[in-house]
Chain A
Amino acid sequence: MSFLPLIISLLAMCAAGYWYGSKKALSSHSFAGQQNAGRPHLYGLYVVIWGVIPPAILLILWGVFSYSSIDVSGGIAGKIDKVVFPSLITVAAILGLTLAVRQISPNLRARKTVEAAVYCVLILASTLSVFTTIGIVLSLLIETIQFFEKVPYQEFFFSLNWSPQMALREDQVGSSGAFGAIPLFTGTLLITLIAMIVAVPLGLMSGIYMTEYASKNFRATVKPILEILAGIPTVVYGFFAALTVGVFFRDVGTFIGLDVVSESALAAGVVMGMMIIPFISSLSDDIIMAVPQSLRDASYGLGATKSETVINVIIPAALPGIVGAILLAVSRAIGETMIVVMAAGFAANLTANPLESVTTVTVQIVGLLVGDQEFDSAKTLAAFALALTLFAITLCLNVIALLVVRKYREKYD
């Protein structure tokens, strides 16, 4: 028995219940003059609620049941699954609807039940995302624990060698890889650092220009354009990095006699910085706007020029917020994947030279999970360990950033 006919018939029943319920409330003589009884559509909704809840409970039970009886395929379980449950659900729906219709009277407070149902639906919606997050973290955690059963954590956190090549078959040689994550994290750090060197000054200065210097009209035109930059899919930035910027840096390098690889950390970092500029400029724009006008007035009133005011009053007042914005940007840069997949290399070099190729955590996660692999090998599990570490780092950065920003907000509101 497939789901679709069952669902459609349930919906039809509910629609009928709604129509009948509101009609009954509307036509009943006893309702006339009863102000507090509520409007007819509430009674319709009341009927629908009772037509939905019993089948929904049964559906959940069905799901649990069929999941737990997966091993006993066929036999009696299969039959219950196919026949008994759908008919049970239909019966429950009909029962709920008829009982609800019979209850309709001026004394029934349908409004309260409907409000309670709305409340439950809203709670359900908001907790769902929380549970999803918890689920993701748990699954990362479980796989990571499995990984550390195969590879000692000392190797993962302290070894300098990353080469996760595993044998595909038992009898192949060289079956154990090296899982030292340090080169990946230094690579991530290097690219993030370059990105920040590009993005922080440019973003901050454009934010200052937008709030303090630009005319209203200019701001109204340019700010949305700058924000379009934030809407460009990162894969397009990746293109740009790999095909244009990387090649450009290599050619410039050749011209001045430097050996620059076309997948240099510099190219990936610079493009990532460009991606982050609108992020920083828009955040710092908001933060600088929140500095009270009275402080500007005070400074101008004392004969300070615009740039003196910016340097001596506005930036110090906005500094905590700006630091928060930068931390948020860093955590974005660390987690950024597409640009580095396309523009940075795969080789795990331990180097601080931006002209060489480095790899990042995200690139390696992609590399580990793309293609055919068994899901219990150390190679695959390593991806989860990397992901969990990355998650922990960005989470910490985000929490710190939010705390800093909140502390700043409290000061002026």
Chain B
Amino acid sequence: MEPIISAKNVSVYYGKKQALKGVNLDIPENQITALIGPSGCGKSTFLRCLNRMNDTIEGCRVEGDIIVDGKDIYDPQIDEVYLRARVGMVFQKPNPFPKSIYDNVAYAPRIHGLARNKDELDNMVLASLEKAGLLAEVQDRLHEIGTSLSGGQQQRLCIARALAAQPDIILMDEPCSALDPIATAKVEELIEELRASYTIIIVTHSMQQAARISQQTAFFHLGEIVEVGKTEQVFTSPQDSRTQGYITGRFG
């Protein structure tokens, strides 16, 4: 199967410091790809290349090609705003806007003009909340401020907000690292459900999480991909000694 995202020889520099050194990675459609590795290994940097969020960081330079759906996203012709609507992102810390739950989810449909009228917008908001498994909990308080929810609910609100932009691909940057185990389990369950309709790339520090939910795993170390393969394979019979060291907890 043709990969939906294909990164070829990607290097990233923050000023003079090189954060990624010639990374190659293919990401198959409708699968969950986990990026693991010790802190500062470049996995978040790589994730942020995929929707050009690195553009917002001053002094950041990206080399190499990243092909999403057959198009080079660093082509000057490409509109990064459109790209980011197609490639959604969920961040490490839940970051709902200080607006109502409804307005949080309606944010992307409004700025992209996805809904033609109020009814369509209502439907989009409700459908996104439903997909994120949050609707039942917030149905009768859609107009309360989003920051009044619990941490886990806030993170699912952020996922709903990303879904409302109608993306194909969702990037998740340690989405559970600020959550307790129960909220984490709920979010993981949600991520697995979303796999049916979305391609998901998740950065995680928890190897158990990577093993539980992902189909493909890439192990980053010092700005390079050391090993990539089927999750089962990477965790049961790693080829590289560094991977083995990391997943058995000997370093990192």
Which residues in window 207-222 of B have CB below 8 A to A? Answer: none
Residues in B neighbouring A215, C-beta threshold 8 A: 58
A313 within 8 A of B: yes
Q: Give A345 to B96 CA distance when docked, in angstroms.
A: 53
Residues in A neighbouring B93, C-beta threshold 8 A: 294
**Cβ-neighbour of B91 out of A301, A317, A411 (below 8 A):** A301
A297-B56, A298-B158, A303-B165 in contact; A308/B95 too (CB < 8 A)?
no
| B91 contacts A294, C-beta separation under 8 Å | yes
A215-B58, A294-B91, A312-B111 in contact; A300/B97 too (CB < 8 A)?
no
A305 within 8 A of B: yes
| A292 contacts B97, C-beta separation under 8 Å | no
| A294 contacts B95, C-beta separation under 8 Å | yes
Size bin of chain A's contact surface: 20 to 34
B185 within 8 A of A: no
Against A, the Cβ 8 Å flags (1 = close, 0 = not) of B71-82 are 000000000011
- Closest chain A residue, CB of each to CB of B55: A300
Residues in B neighbouring A312, C-beta threshold 8 A: 107, 111
A332 within 8 A of B: no
Against B, the Cβ 8 Å flags (1 = close, 0 = not) of A395-413 are 0000000000000000100
Which residues in window 295-334 of A have CB below 8 A to B? Answer: 295-305, 308, 312-313, 316-317
Residues in B neighbouring A297, C-beta threshold 8 A: 53, 56, 89, 91, 95
Residues in B neighbouring A298, C-beta threshold 8 A: 91, 95-97, 158, 161
A216 within 8 A of B: yes
Q: Give A317 to B158 CA distance when docked, in angstroms.
A: 17
**Cβ-neighbour of A302 out of B56, B58, B111 (below 8 A):** B111
| B88 contacts A301, C-beta separation under 8 Å | yes
| A302 contacts B91, C-beta separation under 8 Å | no
A215-B58, A292-B95, A411-B98 in contact; A303/B112 too (CB < 8 A)?
yes
Which of B53, B56, B99 lies at the interface centre, i.e. has the most chain A CB atoms within 10 A of its CB? B56
Which residues in window 86-131 of A have CB below 8 A to B? Answer: none
| B97 contacts A295, C-beta separation under 8 Å | yes
A296-B56, A411-B98 in contact; A303/B91 too (CB < 8 A)?
no
Q: Give A292 to B92 CA distance when docked, in angstroms.
A: 14
| A305 contacts B81, C-beta separation under 8 Å | yes
| A302 contacts B95, C-beta separation under 8 Å | no
| A216 contacts B58, C-beta separation under 8 Å | yes
Q: Give A300 to B107 CA distance when docked, in angstroms.
A: 11
A216-B58, A296-B56, A308-B111 in contact; A301/B84 too (CB < 8 A)?
yes
Which of A215, A298, A304, A411 lies at the interface centre, i.e. has the most chain B CB atoms within 10 A of its CB? A298
B129 within 8 A of A: no
Against B, the Cβ 8 Å flags (1 = close, 0 = not) of A276-307 are 00000000000000001011111111111100
**Cβ-neighbour of A304 out of B88, B95, B96, B111 (below 8 A):** B111
Q: Give A300 to B96 CA distance when docked, in angstroms.
A: 13
Given A298-B96, A302-B161, A303-B84, output 18 extra A-B contacts at Cβ < 8 Å: A294-B91, A294-B95, A297-B89, A298-B97, A298-B161, A299-B97, A300-B53, A301-B162, A302-B84, A302-B88, A302-B89, A303-B83, A304-B81, A313-B97, A316-B99, A317-B97, A317-B98, A411-B98
B-side residues, CB < 8 A to A, are: 51, 53, 56, 58, 81-85, 88-89, 91, 93, 95-99, 107-108, 111-112, 158, 161-162, 165
List 19 contacting pairs A-B, 8 Å CB cutoff, sorted by A: A292-B95, A294-B91, A297-B53, A297-B95, A300-B53, A301-B53, A301-B89, A302-B84, A302-B85, A302-B89, A302-B107, A302-B162, A302-B165, A303-B111, A304-B108, A308-B111, A312-B107, A316-B98, A317-B97
Q: Which 6 A-B pairs have CB atoms at the shortest separation, nearest pair first? A: A303-B85, A301-B89, A294-B95, A303-B84, A302-B108, A298-B95
